[in-house]
């Protein structure tokens, strides 16, 4: 614990990913995390599956289906029963559901908008913040308190769905996070200067945690459902048996932009911009919080990686120049862009597809959407590109060496070849290094 003229500076910021909260019993792992320090900030994501359910319900309401918040209540019921909230927390949760009901009524009467969809999504982090804070205080017996987004003071621009945090938030955080005890705060969300809810982009809780850590000059611990960063996804490549102990911040930024589930793009960009502050960032296991994990640091040493993503869609159009201008004008960054003389194809994560399609329709661009392909990106020495490209020809619709500086090869491949190609590519790269 550090003391200043303004009060207490927390010893660290700890972010809990939503995938770590798949069921209520996983709340028990908070005991070890809270035991690390009685004065820290815990940033929470919505419990697993809740954000997707909120978006699904909003879309169904917009399309005229007879929907309500009953599925959302059912999703949260096991967590509420497990926590057994005190009266104050019950009242807060009840108020949040009343607010959510009003948003869905607005969707039913006036239709969906980016601003309204953001307001709906904030429910996930806000209700999870109250449940986690109550659990830490009531069940684990630590001195804990929750801060809503107004009290926290994270201010953003009004780019709904993908907002950026404004610099003035740093001063606000220094004032709001100077209390004794464990401060439990929502990730992923902010308020604009016009007092409208905004969201910070998918996996934006990483962005929240990194911004807090840099603002307060404290270590950043990102607790996830894995032990650290792997050179390939163990789900598809069982031969992966080790994590990377140290990963260069700039390479991590490139990996994030290509869909690696390390740290979100905005958080990585913020770390690169503030590398002179030497921020300490540790990615480690939520269920084994004492494990070493992966440290992000300016090592200047590149690692070999295989990144695979099946949760994508491809958008193809013959209006090549229009699409390129569309991407620039909307500051959109798809996983990859493939072009030839006939068409342009962009690969986007499914979580971002709805927004892309809405913007394309607004721009009057003709396009086709497909779910037939998966995405692969490979970071390796240029000397291996020829072998890799030859191997990728089986099952690929496109292969493109898009960035020789970062020694990157990326491709769209058939879904059927996804797992086998990842295994073969991992073996090829690891045997060559």
Residue 416, domain extent: 305-432
Q: What is the pLDDT of residues 15-36, one digit of tens each?
A: 999 999 999 999 999 999 999 9
Are 155 and 259 found together in one domain?
A: yes
Tell which of 281, 297, 313 closes a domain: 297
Which of the two residues, 338 and 73, has the higher pLDDT score? 73
Are 77 and 222 found together in one domain?
A: yes
Decide if 2 is inside a domain: no
Show the 3-state SS of the chain. Answer: CEEECCEEECCCEEEECHHHCCCHHHHHHHHHHHHCCCCCEEEECCCCCHHHHHHHHHHHHHCCCCCCCHHHHHHHHHHHHHHCCCHHHHHHHHHHHHHHHHHHHHHHHHCCCHHHHHHHHHHHHHHHHHHHHHHHHHCCCCCEEECCHHHHCCEECCCCCCCCECCCHHHHHHHHCCCCCEEEEECCEEEECCCCEEECCCCHHHHHHHHHHHHHCCCEEEEECCCCECCCCCCCCCCCCCCECEEEHHHHHHHHHCCCCCCCHHHHHHHHHCHHHCCCEEEEECCCCCCCCEEEECCCCCCCEEEEECCEEEEEECCHHHHHHHHHHCCCCCCEEEECCCCEEEEEEHHHHHHHHHHHHHHCCCCEEECCEEEEEEECCHHHHHHHHHHHCCCEEEEEEEECCCCEEEEEEEHHHHHHHHHHHHHHHHHHC
Q: What is the pLDDT of residues 227-280, one digit of tens each?
A: 899 888 887 787 787 889 999 888 888 888 888 878 888 999 999 899 888 899
Tell which of 297, 329, 351 closes a domain: 297
The CATH number given to whatever domain includes residue 397 is 3.30.2130.10
Tell which of 297, 327, 345 closes a domain: 297
pLDDT confidence bin for 164, thresholds 50/70/90: very high
Decide if 233 is inside a domain: yes
Are 333 and 289 found together in one domain?
A: no
Decide if 108 is inside a domain: yes
Rounded to 5 degrees, what are φ and ψ at 291?
-70, 160
Q: What average pLDDT does this structure show over 72-99? A: 97
Count of structural domains, the chain: 2
Are 245 and 343 found together in one domain?
A: no
pTM for the full predicted model: 0.84
pLDDT confidence bin for 64, thresholds 50/70/90: confident
Q: What average pLDDT does this structure show over 92-107? A: 96
Decide if 28 is inside a domain: yes
The CATH number given to whatever domain includes residue 231 is 3.40.1160.10
In the chain, % of residues over pLDDT 70:
91
Are 324 and 293 found together in one domain?
A: no
Are 100 and 116 found together in one domain?
A: yes
At residue 171, does pLDDT exceed 60? Answer: yes
């Amino acid at each position: 614990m550090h003391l200043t003229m303004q009060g207490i500076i927390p010893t660290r910021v700890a972010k809990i990913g939503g995938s770590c909260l798949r069921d209520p019993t996983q709340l028990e792992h908070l005991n070890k995390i809270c035991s690390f320090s009685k004065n820290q900030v815990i940033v929470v994501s919505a419990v697993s599956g809740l954000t997707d359910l909120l978006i699904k319900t909003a879309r169904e309401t917009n399309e005229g289906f007879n929907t309500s918040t009953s599925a959302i209540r059912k999703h949260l019921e096991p967590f509420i029963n497990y926590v057994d909230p005190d009266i104050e927390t019950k009242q807060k949760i009840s108020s949040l559901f009343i607010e959510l009901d009003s948003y869905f009524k607005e969707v039913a009467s006036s239709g969906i908008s980016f601003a309204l969809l953001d307001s709906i999504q904030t429910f996930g982090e806000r209700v999870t913040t109250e449940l986690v804070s109550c659990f830490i205080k009531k069940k684990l017996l630590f001195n804990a308190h929750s801060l809503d987004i107004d009290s926290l003071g994270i201010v953003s621009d009004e780019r709904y769905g993908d907002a950026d945090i404004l610099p003035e938030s740093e001063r606000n955080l220094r004032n709001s996070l100077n209390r004794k005890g464990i401060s439990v705060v929502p990730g992923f969300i902010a308020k604009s200067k016009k007092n409208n809810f905004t969201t910070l982009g998918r996996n934006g809780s990483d962005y929240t945690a990194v911004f807090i850590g840099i603002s307060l000059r404290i270590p950043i611990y990102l607790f996830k459902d894995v032990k650290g960063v792997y050179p390939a996804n163990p789900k598809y490549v069982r031969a992966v048996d080790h994590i990377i102990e140290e990963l260069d911040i700039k390479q991590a930024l490139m990996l994030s932009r290509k869909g690696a589930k390390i740290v979100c793009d905005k958080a990585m960009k913020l770390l690169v911009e503030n590398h002179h502050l030497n921020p300490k960032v540790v990615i480690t296991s939520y269920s084994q919080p004492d494990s070493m994990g992966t440290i992000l640091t300016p090592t200047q040493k590149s690692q070999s990686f295989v990144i695979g993503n099946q949760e994508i869609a491809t958008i193809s159009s013959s209006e090549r120049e229009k699409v390129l201008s569309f991407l620039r004008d909307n500051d959109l960054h798809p996983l990859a862009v493939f072009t030839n003389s006939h068409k342009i194809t962009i690969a986007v994560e499914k979580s971002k597809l709805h927004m892309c399609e809405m913007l394309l329709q607004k721009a009057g661009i003709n396009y086709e959407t497909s779910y037939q392909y998966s995405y692969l990106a490979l970071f390796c020495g240029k000397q291996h590109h020829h072998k890799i490209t030859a191997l990728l020809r089986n099952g690929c619709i496109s292969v493109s060496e898009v960035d020789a500086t970062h020694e990157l090869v990326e491709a769209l491949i058939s879904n059927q070849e996804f797992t086998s190609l990842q295994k073969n590519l991992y073996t090829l790269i690891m045997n060559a290094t």
